Structure 1
Amino acid sequence: MSYKVPIIDYPTHYHRLESEIDAAIKEVLSRGDLILREQVSQLESNVASFVGVDYAVGVNSCTDAMHLSLRAAGLGRGDE
């Protein structure tokens, strides 16, 4: 079986929402709300609600997401 995952066309999506994205970035950067602030908390609540769970945690990378997922599953150093 051969299936190719399509590559996301970021420029097209960006241009479609450019004014909204730029306004949100400008607002966050002008206030210095980069971590543990209103938009992050709101995003986490929205994601948790969307997937039907009580909590969600925003992280800065896929590596952090995988690390937290493995820890939440009870896996630690040396586990296979």
Structure 2
Amino acid sequence: MNPFKIFLKKNKSDKKQLKELKKYPCDCYLSNALYFIETGEIDVAYKEICYAILRSGGKLSDSQLKKFNELKNKRGVTCRDL
């Protein structure tokens, strides 16, 4: 199953966020993750890595998806802000 469809099933009302996710290449998310690791913002880095995995067509495990869903609701600087 397409990881974007899984993402939508978990967040049916969040199609706008999925559209945003598709705008940026994986290296953008990964570069941001490195920056956030350097600055100690591990939660934001984790979220960026999850976005990169989903963007590249990969899947998150159940535990990763649970943590990702918790973190994505927190406001943090992302690729869209840099």
For the superposition of Structure 1 and Structure 2, which TM-score range results when normalised by the shorter chain?
under 0.3
Instruction: Calculate the TM-score normalised by the size of structure 1.
Output: 0.28
Task: Name the larger-Rg structure.
Answer: 1
Ranked by relative contact order (alpha carbons within 8 Å, sequence separation 6 or more), the top structure is: 2
Instruction: Calculate the TM-score normalised by the size of structure 2.
Output: 0.27
More helix by share: 2
